[in-house]
Amino acid sequence: MYDLLKKNSAFFFPYLLFLLIATSCLGLWGRNDISLFINGHNSSVTDFFFKYWTNVGLGYLILPVALILAFINFRFMIMSVVCFLISFGINDSIKFALHAPRPATVFEQLNQGFYHVPGVDIYSWDSFPSGHTAISFALFCLLALISNKGSAKFLFFLCAFLVGYSRIYLAEHFITDVLAASVIGVSSAIFTYILFTQSKAINKFASIDKPLIRLGGK
């Protein structure tokens, strides 16, 4: 595990730094104040960016990711689908079991106003954990693990982080929702990667280590 983290330090170092800073802020200010602070520092540019970037965390992300990976290495495509299903299953099982109130509901009960980004539908329940964040961290972490370039690994972290940040900015989730979801996503990616690279049973099928268009060929 240590070697895996070290090899992919361009992703995991900023991720661990993010966890450290976020949990420290939680201890100092609490989730409500952090959410209001992030949501309150807005502009027309960030409104536009986060309104659309947050959609990267939708489940539809698996479609282009899996398709692209299929033409690189079929094993990678299978890994992406398994990783997605694990993170989605764990995250949504917790989400619907807890049925936690979202920021809009909490702030309404506290008579606390917040900034509503124009054109964004604000939801009221099923806040913990954040589905968008779990999916984005799962898939971008997996992409970082299979990538050979440090710059790409950091870029993948940044992509996932911005999805998580967007959920707070748009007043859809608390920072606690984002933190928990990121752990679910990253854990799902690491589990999937280790399973598909170290399992003797899976490694018997050498034919999957080819692009889709070459499967079955010599």
Tokens of 52: 């659309």
Q: What is the pLDDT of residues 88-145, one digit of tens each?
A: 999 999 999 999 999 999 999 999 999 999 999 999 999 999 999 999 999 999 999 9
> Judging by beta carbons within 10 Å of its beta carbon (0-12, 13-18, 19+), is residue 44 exposed, middle or buried?
exposed
Question: From CA 150, how far away is CA 7, in angstroms rounded?
Answer: 9
Q: What is the pLDDT of residues 175-184, one digit of tens each?
A: 999 999 999 9
Q: Which residue from 88, 78, 79 is spatially nearest to 133, judged by alpha carbons? A: 88
Q: What is the pTM of this model?
A: 0.94
Mean pLDDT in residue range 168-196: 97
How would DSSP label each residue in 28-46? HH-HHHHHHHHHHS--HHH
pLDDT at site 198: 85
At 4, is the pLDDT very low, low, confident or very high (cuts 50, 70, 90)? very high
At 207, is the pLDDT very low, low, confident or very high (cuts 50, 70, 90)? low
